[in-house]
Amino acid sequence: MEELKLTFVNVGYGEAALLECPDPAFPGGTFVMVIDGGSAEAEEYRDSATGRIPLDQYLSLRGVDHIDLMAATHVHEDHLCGLLPAAEKLPPAALWQTLPPEFCRSMRTLDIPAEGLTPSRSKFLRALNDYRRLCLGQSCPRHRPLAGMEIRLCRDLLVRVLGPSRAQAEKLASSCRALYEEADPSAFWQRLDQLDAAMNNYSLILLLEYRGTRILLPGDTNYMGYGGLDPASLRADLFKVGHHGQRDGISAEQIQAIAPRAVVCCASSDRRYNSADPAILQMMADSGARLYFSDCPPGPDGAVPPPHQALTFTVGAGGAMEGTYLSIPD
């Protein structure tokens, strides 16, 4: 039976997903899409006891030999920076991202001065610089999907773009331009902090449909980022909760509208930044959804997933869907 595979790689605190869809029109008979790349910081993978592995290493381990489409849902270090080494090894045929396709050409490398620098500012500056490197380093077409678009990625796989809206995308572009044009150091930090805080809700929100099964991937969108969307458009069988399952990741009303059979939470085993929030997890479990994790944080009942390098869902016809943790190789 032909099945789609959606794999959430254990990148610790971050997100990286590999989608493989059967289609003879693509190399090896498989359409390959990578959605976000996790962190590129070595420290994130130093403790590999739970199975953490950088995206590029996982792709190599799996024998993935091409990427037809790479998507960066938004510009944050824990989602974007791991895409760079993956793209250097396997240049994508196309790139989706959230800024105007030629915006990267107007960007400069941002210096990271010691004065005023904080850990969060350092991460965001690195993400902006790596976004520039990712875009300029690839010769493939760059696209900016917007809400309302429907795109057939390959045979049997349709994606509906739910966000960002054109207005949101233009606001993001305007904020980025203002940041790069700002000459006053104090005002620069202020603009940087504001953009960093707003970035999650500029995420790509993708609704995939494969042979009757719907998969909702909202990047780091939190509950406020769904405003203006028809609740009926959110319904999905598999839902990857936004913002790593932090308290603002989703509301009870939105979970009711999504009505997922399964929920994936991409939170680190140490529940950094209050990810995998117990109240949010309990709310989703109470909805009847089965909970899965990309790393190994405790669930609402205190149970911890087994160590694993990845979590893979196989999706077939007629709503068939199964999630499996892929154990660490001996």
pLDDT of residue 114: 66
Q: CA 164, CA 226: separation in Å to the nearest integer?
A: 10
Amino acid at 215: I
- Distance of CA 31 to CAs 18, 93, 173, 190, Å? 11, 11, 30, 42
Which domain range does residue 256 map to? 4-326
How many residues can be counted in the chain? 330
pTM higher than the cut 0.85: yes
Q: CA 205, CA 226: separation in Å to the nearest integer?
A: 9
Residue pLDDT, tens place only, 86-128: 999 999 999 999 999 999 999 999 987 767 889 999 999 999 9
The DSSP line for 6-25 is EEEE--SSS-EEEEEEE-TT
pLDDT tens for the chain, residues 1 to 330: 589 999 999 999 999 999 999 999 999 999 999 999 999 999 999 988 999 999 999 999 999 999 999 999 999 999 999 999 999 999 999 999 999 999 999 999 998 776 788 999 999 999 999 999 999 999 999 999 999 999 999 999 999 999 999 999 999 999 999 999 999 989 999 999 999 999 999 999 999 999 999 999 999 999 999 988 999 999 999 999 999 999 999 999 999 999 999 999 999 999 998 899 999 999 999 999 999 999 999 998 899 999 999 999 999 988 999 999 998 887
What 8-state DSSP symbol labels residue 329? Answer: P
> Nearest-CA neighbor of 198 among 224, 218, 180?
224
Number of domains in the chain: 1
pLDDT of residue 111: 81
The tokens of 106 are what? 């107007």
Amino acid at 328: I
| The Cα angle at residue 317 between residues 313 and 321, in degrees rounded to 5 | 25
Sheet (strand 290-293) strand order = 150-154, 157-163, 205-210, 213-217, 238-240, 262-265, 290-293
For the chain, the distance separating the N- and C-terminal CA atoms, rounded to the nearest angstrom, is 29
pLDDT of residue 3: 96
Dihedral in degrees, nearest 10, Cα atoms 118, 122, 125, 129? 170
What is the CATH classification number for the domain harbouring 235? 3.60.15.10
Q: CA 316, CA 85: separation in Å to the nearest integer?
A: 31
